[in-house]
Amino acid sequence: MLIRPAMAADAEEAASVLRRSICDLCLSDHSGDAETLAQWLANKTPENVRAWIEAPDRFIVVVEENGAIIGVGGASHSGEITLNYVAPEARFRGVSKAILKSLEAYLSLLGCPEITLTSTKAARTFYIAMGYEDAEAQDASNAQGGLPMRKSLGPKEAS
């Protein structure tokens, strides 16, 4: 497994991983609802992924195995993790954890004091295990299903 910065040439395969991950692994978030799924997938195109890769204020990584992309991660320079998706066939193999650690290290180097992200219902337990906490009271009526979370990168305060 190799984690590396994404290149524009990765956009098509990366977009495919994003779309397959959402369709197959985030069922608890979209419940197979065609409209919800269409909204979620609308910006997961090769063109948009290429733009994210080329944006100067973003850091996008891919995870490769045997020449195939099996994971995609992204962060904005403001400290928000924007992508952490794994190909269905690579689930439960440490890919998402490797992506997260890579993005956290990058944001730490940028001096971000805190990382924020919007978790899916499917990934919330994973993020809690990785040290994230709910950023605000969860609103069950949130149509996008997004769960705001955060993690401090600053020094731990003594209790």
Domain ranges of the chain: 2-152
CATH superfamily of 2-152: Gcn5-related N-acetyltransferase (GNAT) (3.40.630.30)
pLDDT at res. 46 = 98
105-130 pLDDT, tens digit per residue, is 999 999 999 999 999 888 999 999 99
Strand order in the sheet with 133-134: 2-5, 58-65, 68-76, 80-86, 114-119, 147-152, 133-134
Nearest Cα neighbor of 84 from 67, 104, 114 is 104
pLDDT at res. 137 = 55
Residues in the chain predicted with pLDDT less than 70, given as ranges, are: 137-145, 155-159
pLDDT at res. 60 = 98
pLDDT at res. 139 = 47
Structure tokens at 91: 């689930």
pLDDT at res. 31 = 83
Q: Which residues contact 43 (CB under 8 A, 6 or more apart)?
A: none
pLDDT at res. 118 = 93
How many residues in total does the chain contain?
159
